[in-house]
Structure 1
């Protein structure tokens, strides 16, 4: 399976001619999202926030490619169905389930976005483990239970986390490999500070951290 990292939390996974995209958000340029979604058979959305779901480009893509299936938390899926109308494959995703998606097996975890502030309501958030190999938690630090995760996509920087929590998340999941997501607000200096610490602490537990540039591909 091959993973391509796009801006912020968007990733594209390809395997045996099948394409799955997670979180096409609005921190990507339109051309970048078009590239990420090109030929997509499935799109997974972790939650409603626009940095993970850029609605108009996704809706335009679905109208042009009605065979593309979308899985999202129920409230998100309902909104997409309302805008699209009938004839589109938009499905509710619930935590603690298994999705068989034409060659991809996806397990779901979590259910709730991480707390930003007590006076800001949380929203539904689903983390996705694809083919038992790569875990995309969306905006959460939910640790998949009862299994090992070879590749973790770690939310590096957000209004709802701090560096110590990211380090503890990596240590708790204990993957073999970590790549960064949720990095769209970081400056080059910010990357250096956070990645130095995450990489160093990960290494203490036998975990390798590897930064991926926008558009970079890696074989998992």
Structure 2
């Protein structure tokens, strides 16, 4: 399976001609990521994880594209693009479903706390093909599952370095790559990744930097 990283939290997976996109947000090259996609998974409603205009356009122009998202996101998109209602699916945590030939498991349910004065929103983490785990904006660890490829939110208004490291240690996936790095400059990213690389290795995780536009086989 080929994994391509786009800016910030967007990931594109390709396998045997099937294309699955996760979190095509406004910080990402959403239209490019969505080109030719068969399914989209959205973790939550924040703009850096879903570019509503780009997703609506993709649903409108690609008559076979299916989208899976928490209830609030799914409802908004059905309103924005009523002609695609049958292809917009609500996802609850703790479920299993198929999307574009991929097997998906959902975890979590709530966005990590930013501040008590900032309302929490629904957030779904997705495990794809018992391999790739995208947690969205959370550090929810999938229960009873051995994740093989972990996508790590390395920086956000809701996290700190110790929590990032503990998440990597807790999941203990053999491989890990960064997401949610769009707010960091090069110096900040290098500092965080050095900690994650060193301490992740102590617990069996090989963390590797993945630049925007870079692909890797997993």
TM-score (norm 1): 0.97
Counterpart-to-counterpart distance in 1, 2:190 and 2:31: 30
Are 1:37 and 2:34 counterparts? yes
Give the 5 Å matches for 1:208-219.
208-219=206-217
Counterpart-to-counterpart distance in 1, 2:58 and 2:38: 11
Unaligned 5+ runs, structure 1: none
Pair 1:87–1:192, CA change in 2 (3 A): closer
Q: How many residues matched?
A: 217
Q: Which residue number in structure 1 is paired with residue 54 of structure 2?
A: 57
Q: Which residue number in structure 1 is paired with residue 145 of structure 2?
A: 147
Q: Considering only aligned residues, what root-mean-square deviation do their CA atoms show, in Å? A: 0.8
User: Could you tell me how far 1:147 is from its partner in structure 2?
Assistant: 1.2
Counterpart-to-counterpart distance in 1, 2:41 and 2:212: 19
User: Could you tell me how far 1:192 is from its partner in structure 2?
Assistant: 1.1
Match of 2:203 among 202, 205, 209: 205
1:86 counterpart SS class: helix
2:120 counterpart SS class: coil
TM-score (norm 2): 0.98
Match of 2:189 among 188, 191, 198: 191
Query: Deviation string for 1:90-128 (max 9, x for gaps)?
Result: 000110000112420000000000000011110000000
Q: Which residue number in structure 2 is paired with residue 92 of structure 1?
A: 90
1:167 counterpart SS class: helix
Q: Which residue number in structure 2 is paired with residue 162 of structure 1?
A: 160
Match of 2:122 among 121, 124, 128: 124
Q: Which residue number in structure 1 is paired with residue 12 of structure 2?
A: 12
Query: Deviation string for 1:41-72 (max 9, x for gaps)?
Result: 00000000000001111111111112100000
User: Could you tell me how far 1:86 is from its partner in structure 2?
Assistant: 3.2
